[in-house]
Amino acid sequence: MSSALIRAWAAVLLTAGLVACTTTTRTSNSPPNATVSNVDIQKRDAGGPSDNRKRAAIRMQLAVGYYQDGNFSVALDELKQALTLDPNYADAHTVLALVYAELHQDALAEQSFQRALQLEPGNSDLNNNYGWFLCQHGREKESLGYFETALKNPLYTQKAKPLQNSGVCAVKMGDMAAAEEYFRRSFEVDPTGSVSAYNLASIYYERKDLSRARFYVAQVNNSPGPTPASLWLGIRIERRLGNRTNQVALESQLERLFSDSREAQMQKRGNYGD
């Protein structure tokens, strides 16, 4: 795999905000009413573990919101309270792992992922998230097994994510044939997936299969979220194909949207890397 492809792959992921391919989403539930009385809480406590799970879920939902806002210290506190209420709450262990990962406390993140997997070994979202954690920490080959486990559930509706992540890890391993297959399968499941489309375009560009490269990069550049890397790739493809009008249009788009980007500066210098 060329260093240029690695740089371009990283650029599109970072710009698109897609590196952290976790599957946790903020819930629409509001925080619990602040005026709940002690009597009400005591009644819930008397109900046993199921009520503790409900209260832990409220804490976890709050933690997810803080996690997504980047307020990791408060998220950590909410999760610890959730797990005090219900130590066997796999979802809370999973979000705790994600928070520790953001804080670069990798040993604690690993411990939390492993605990969650002990509780719910077949959870597809959990396996996908742990696989991505492993891929980010140089354990790409190991990560693929967790992505495969995520895909085994026939009711799992987010299969494009572990397929895409498998492709990214295969790229990092230098196995471009496997990466192509993963990205192709991911794109078939979700044709709006910019990461898979971009990477397929990059692979075909490297092979000089320009027609296919052009098709896939267009899926990114014609979407609401083109990136400097995807526009730059589109420019180079159109240049090689001799489509001057399309090349100029993409160059104008790159300059208009990302004038300070590294790609825009290379375009101005005429450094197309041919």
Q: pLDDT (tens digit, 9 = 90+) per residue, 111-166?
A: 999 999 999 999 999 999 999 999 999 999 999 999 999 999 999 999 999 999 99
| All domains of the chain in start order, with CATH | 1-23+160-274 (1.25.40.10), 24-120 (1.25.40.10)
The answer on pLDDT for 106 being more than 70 is yes
Q: Is 185 exposed, middle or buried (0-12, 13-18, 19+ CB in 10 A)?
A: middle
Choose among 78, 182, 116: nearest CA to 129: 116
Q: Is 23 exposed, middle or buried (0-12, 13-18, 19+ CB in 10 A)?
A: middle
CA distances to 26, 56, 86, 114, 248 from 126, rounded to whole Å, are 16, 18, 18, 10, 45
Measured distance CA(201)–CA(237) in Å, rounded: 9
Instruction: Specify the pLDDT at position 273.
Output: 78
The answer on pLDDT for 34 being more than 80 is no
Choose among 118, 122, 96: nearest CA to 109: 96
Residue range 56-88, pLDDT digits in tens: 999 999 999 999 999 999 999 999 999 999 999
Q: What is the pTM of this model?
A: 0.78
The answer on pLDDT for 185 being more than 90 is yes
The answer on pLDDT for 107 being more than 50 is yes
| Helix/strand/coil for 20 | coil
As a whole number, mean pLDDT of residues 46-52 equals 65
